[in-house]
Amino acid sequence: MAKPRKTEQQHFVEGTKSKATQALESVYEAGRTKIPGHLSPAARAEFKRACKILVERGTATEGDFATLAVYAEVYARWVSAKKQLGNDFLVLMTIKDTNGVPKQVERPSPLLKVVETCEARLLTLAKSLGLTPDARDRVRKTRGKQEDAPVDPMEAFLNRQRPKVVPMSQEKIREAFESARRFKETASEDGPAGDSGEGN
């Protein structure tokens, strides 16, 4: 019998590295799906809980709403059936024997079948969402939103916003030089500060 595959946490604790091919990042963008309005209160609560787990793990997308909705509804149905079943796994039923005489016999509760069916569907749906121990490491992480994606420094440098150059006519350039020349001449005629003061 083959050994079960180690999780990432087990590899971290034991200081080993997985030889299995690492799951690639998903091509689908991350997102959080809206809660369908038709869900019962118990199903809504489970929908929120499961969605929060997927978002924290980075595997949620907006397209998961149908799977999450069915998962949440089956979960609510399972909890309700379990409450009604309680510990009464056997029920008394009246049947007739071959002679037509009614008699009471014990039979498994019909709710037991409902609970078992819900449990099987619940595990299948949870596995498809990556909510079981053997499936969580196989689910690909979704691609982050475009604005959250890491920026390449060279790409950012090449696409930087450059200062706008305003062209100047030859006449304005001459006026600027003339202005600078006049200012310089005025400054030289005045002389350094304090030269006109009288000595003691």
**Rounded distance, CA 36 to CA 87, Å?**
33
**Rounded distance, CA 31 to CA 146, Å?**
12
When pLDDT is cut at 50, 70 and 90, the band that residue 152 belongs to is low
When pLDDT is cut at 50, 70 and 90, the band that residue 182 belongs to is confident
pLDDT at 146: 47
**Rounded distance, CA 77 to CA 41, Å?**
11
Judge contact between 93 and 104, C-beta under 8 A: yes
Identify which has the larger pLDDT, 5 or 50: 50
pLDDT at 80: 93
Q: pTM of the full predicted structure? A: 0.54
**Rounded distance, CA 77 to CA 71, Å?**
10
The share of the chain scoring above pLDDT 90, in percent, equals 20
Average pLDDT of span 54-82: 89
pLDDT, one tens digit per residue, over 12-46 is 778 887 766 555 556 556 667 788 889 999 999 99
